Amino acid sequence: MMHGLTKIEVAISQLRLSIALFMEEREHISVITLAGAAEEILGKIAALAGSTPALHRRAEGARQLHVALWGNDPGDKVFKDLKNKTRNELKHLSTGAPLTIRLEQECIRMLDRAVENYRLLHKRAAIFVVQYERRREVLRRTRDQRTVPQAQGDNDNQRPTPTKQGRRATKTA
């Protein structure tokens, strides 16, 4: 039996599955390749609709920073290739060298771009997109809490206790 599928239906199917796998903390490599395929299709459709796709926007930002810092302009293709390096290494035998990848971080990068492109095309997000965005926000807050340095003397394992003179001292729990 033949099915007529639009490219946007294909991309949404890929995005839905990649988000489901990510939420279940399964098959990170498949998350990256599925989300990457969805990101590419949704980005091309967004560009045809007159929007700037996530990859173009991010590559342009990186290019502008490079120009400001180094004074030369290598063009945006260099930065697009860098942003797609992991996805392309997983899809193709690019270098043949073993890969060293932070899988969860790469999943998030690719899913974020795919979701951004999805949002360019849809005023209202599907439930699976909203669920991912909520999970993403929790992960962001957790990461931020881990990277905030504690003030000197600040320790969650300390609690004030009274001393004999009535002053408060800090006791480690």
Give the pLDDT of residue 86: 86
| pLDDT, position 85 | 87
Q: 71-91 as b/e, with b when 16 or more CB fall inside 10 Å?
A: eeeeebeebbeebbebbebbe
In angstroms, rounded to a whole number, what is the distance separating the alpha carbons of residues 73 and 26? 40
- pTM here is 0.78
Residues in the chain: 173
* Beta-bridge partners for 170: 160
Q: Are 74 and 63 in contact (CB under 8 A)?
A: yes
Burial degree of 39 (CB within 10 A; 0-12, 13-18, 19+): buried
Give CA–CA dist 25/94, Å, rounded: 27
Stretches where the chain sits below pLDDT 50 are 151-173
- Specify the pLDDT at position 148: 61
For residue 149, the model assigns a pLDDT of 59
Q: What is the pLDDT of residue 104?
A: 92
The confidence score (pLDDT) of residue 24 equals 95
Q: State the SS3 of 143-164.
A: HHHHHCCCCCCCCCCEEEEECC
